[in-house]
């Protein structure tokens, strides 16, 4: 997982360097995220993902003073816990699936104003979440990768530290349909929300 993240981040830096001539219209950021998923419940199943740390890389291109577009790649590892209640016996069965979760999204970014070193922003977009079981599980042998569409939203601010370096604080939210890894009896049929507060460094070119 960490090797993949390192390759992605290096690619983002290279991509930005290729556009060096367009000064200050591009930036890349490397961020550490906290990943907190809401509980999903339905069909007599309760799904509770564990909290985790992750990494997020972003390439952003400035269209004008107010508008930018960006692409993001993020990765984390958590465990999806399931409690399934039998409608016949009312007994519960527990399952756990450790999973690498990758994010690939594209966003529109709106910067309403700038004040000195501070540059706040809002964004919204869409993409995919890829849930890839690691092989470590309890109560099931789930191993099939599952891809879910997601809607992204959030906001944050950049605080300039140096001429072309800034500190970025942001909150990202990702709305998606809860995964079941194609295992019978683990489907909640409901929507989950992955909350990603993050901190990172921005490098402008």
Q: What confidence tens digit (pLDDT) does each residue in 53-62 have?
A: 999 999 999 9
* Whether 135 contacts 143, CB under 8 Å: yes
What's the pLDDT at 129? Answer: 98
For residue 125, CA distances in Å to 8, 49, 74, 88, 160 come to: 20, 23, 15, 43, 25
What pLDDT digit, counting tens, does each position of 26-35 carry?
A: 999 999 999 9
How many domains does the structure of the chain reveal?
Answer: 1
- pTM here is 0.84
Taking 70 as the threshold, does the pLDDT of residue 22 lie above it? no
* Whether 194 contacts 173, CB under 8 Å: yes
What's the pLDDT at 90? Answer: 59
CATH of residue 99: 2.40.160.20
What's the pLDDT at 21? Answer: 45
Look-up: residue for tokens 């527990």? 94
Rounded Cα distance, 145 and 4, in Å: 17
- Rounded to an integer, what is the distance from CA 202 to the centroid of its chain? 18
Which of the pair, 13 or 197, is modelled with greater confidence? 197
Domain that holds residue 161: 2-204
Q: How many CB atoms are closer than 10 A to CB 77?
A: 18
What pLDDT digit, counting tens, does each position of 130-155 carry?
A: 999 999 999 999 999 999 999 999 99
């Amino acid at each position: 997982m960490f090797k993949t993240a390192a390759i992605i981040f290096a690619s983002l830096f290279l991509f930005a360097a290729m556009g060096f001539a367009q000064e200050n219209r591009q930036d890349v950021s490397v961020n550490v995220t906290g990943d907190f998923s809401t509980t999903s419940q339905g069909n007599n199943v309760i799904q509770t993902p564990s909290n985790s740390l992750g990494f997020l890389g972003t390439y952003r291109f400035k269209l004008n003073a107010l508008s930018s577009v960006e692409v993001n790649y993020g990765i984390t590892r958590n465990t999806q816990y399931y409690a399934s209640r039998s409608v016949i016996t009312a007994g519960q069965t527990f399952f756990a699936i450790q999973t690498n979760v990758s994010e690939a999204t594209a966003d529109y970014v709106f910067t309403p104003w700038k004040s000195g070193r501070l540059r706040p922003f809002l964004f919204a977009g869409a993409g995919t979440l890829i849930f890839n079981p690691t092989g470590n599980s309890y109560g099931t042998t789930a191993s099939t990768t599952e891809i879910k569409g997601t809607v992204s939203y959030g906001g944050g601010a950049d605080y300039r530290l140096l001429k072309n370096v800034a500190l970025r604080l942001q909150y990202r939210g990702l709305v998606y349909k809860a995964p079941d890894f194609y295992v019978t009896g683990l489907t909640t049929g409901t929507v989950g929300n992955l909350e990603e507060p993050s901190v990172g460094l921005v490098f402008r070119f």
